[in-house]
Structure 1
């Protein structure tokens, strides 16, 4: 069960990376970890440094992927982002937090992807 969740999460992150790259974003880091946790994607959108949380679901049975990013997860992502900024010298004029919600479709159809800018 956990292996399928990890596989689905990695698949969703690769879909999200391709989405961001198709918009001309530069991927700075993927699955960046520190003692506070992990950031799925760090990217440059022009002069903005963007910390992207990716959530992938196979159904909305227990709520949407976007609904799963509660205040606790937002706080954790902010902590990890602060650690990333302290550990890396990335030239950016501003930073923000985006969220990408992906619902994997059955039958090989394209996944449903929603990109929330300034999500939190």
Structure 2
């Protein structure tokens, strides 16, 4: 073992950072790491009356792409499928909902640079 955290540890930490950030902006986090037949949803929360599915992405210093840019078309389709499955399973089809991205990178002034992109992925 070389002492470096694995991707699961980094992912859990990054999702916790995102959850704290979103809470500070008035979002109520309902669930974390939701797995269903559609795929995985990192965070689910309420922003006012809107149910929001959050994809959290971290990119380290020196990465060639931002967290938001790292979401491929295939990943977008999986997120839409996972969100749709969640809405169906919980009888929430008529609830306003959206899929947002929270991109996190090391910051220059603060520890992290966080970008919240609302309605980033559409069905």
Q: TM-score, normalised by structure 1?
A: 0.87
| SS in structure 2 at match of 1:20 | helix
1:44 matched to 2:46: yes
Would you say how many aligned residue pairs link Structure 1 and Structure 2?
119
Q: 2:69 aligns with which of 44, 63, 67?
A: 67
Could you tell me which runs of 5 or more consecutive residues in structure 1 were left unpaired when the two chains were aligned: none
Q: 2:25 aligns with which of 23, 26, 45?
A: 23
Q: Runs in 1 of length 4+ with deviation above 6 angstroms?
A: none
Considering fraction of residues, name the structure with more helix. 1
Could you tell me which runs of 5 or more consecutive residues in structure 2 were left unpaired when the two chains were aligned: none
Q: TM-score, normalised by structure 2?
A: 0.85
Provide the aligned C-alpha RMSD in A.
2.4
Q: How does 1:36-115 map to 2 (within 5 A)?
A: 36-89=38-91, 93-105=95-107, 109-115=110-116
